[in-house]
Amino acid sequence: MPQKPKLLLIEDSEILSYTLTEMLNQAFEVSATNSAKKALTKISQLQPDIVLLDIMVEGPINGLMLLEKMKSMAELENTPVVMMSSIDEENKITKALEIGATDYIVKPFNFIHLFLKLKNLVSLKSKTVLDTQEKLLMKTDTTLTSMQVDFKRRFEKITDNLISTNDFSIKEIAQNLSMSVSTVERWSKKIYGLTPKEYIIDRKLLQAEIMLRQNSGNVKTVSYRLGFNSVAYFCKLFRRKFGITPGKISSRRVSLEAPVRD
The predicted-structure confidence for 148-192, as pLDDT tens digits, reads as follows: 788 888 898 888 888 877 778 889 899 988 889 999 998 998 888
Residue 10 has phi, psi (to 5 degrees) of: -120, 100
Q: For residue 179, give the amino acid letter.
A: M
Confidence (pLDDT) at 9: 94
CA distance 86 to 53: 12
Per-residue pLDDT, averaged over 92-97, amounts to: 84
**Does the pLDDT at position 78 exceed 50?**
yes
* pLDDT band, residue 138 (cuts 50/70/90): very low
Confidence (pLDDT) at 102: 84
CATH class, 6-125 region: alpha beta
Comparing 112-121, 137-146, 250-259, the range with the smallest average pLDDT is: 250-259
Q: Where do you find CATH 3.40.50.2300 in the chain?
A: 6-125
Per-residue pLDDT, averaged over 127-149, amounts to: 54
Per-residue pLDDT, averaged over 244-254, amounts to: 66
**Does the pLDDT at position 135 exceed 60?**
no
Task: Classify burial at 35, counting beta carbons within 10 Å of its beta carbon; exposed 0-12, middle 13-18, buried 19 or more.
Answer: middle
Confidence (pLDDT) at 127: 53
Task: Decide yes or no: CATH 1.10.10.60 for domain 140-250.
Answer: yes
CA distance 101 to 191: 25
Q: Which residues pair with 51 in a beta bridge?
A: 8, 81
Long-range contacts of 231-237 (CB under 8 A, 24+ apart): 234/208, 237/201, 237/205
Q: Where do you find CATH 1.10.10.60 in the chain?
A: 140-250
Q: Is the dihedral of CA 225, 229, 231, 235 positive or negative?
A: negative
**Does the pLDDT at position 18 exceed 50?**
yes
The string of pLDDT tens digits covering residues 184-226 is 998 998 888 889 999 999 888 888 888 887 777 788 888 888 8
**Does the pLDDT at position 19 exceed 60?**
yes
Helix (H, G, I), strand (E, B) or coil at 7: strand
Indicate the average pLDDT of the chain.
80
Counted residue by residue, the chain has a size of: 262
Confidence (pLDDT) at 30: 94
Which residues contact residue 219 at a Cβ distance below 8 angstroms, ignoring those fewer than 6 apart? 212, 231, 234, 235, 246, 247, 250
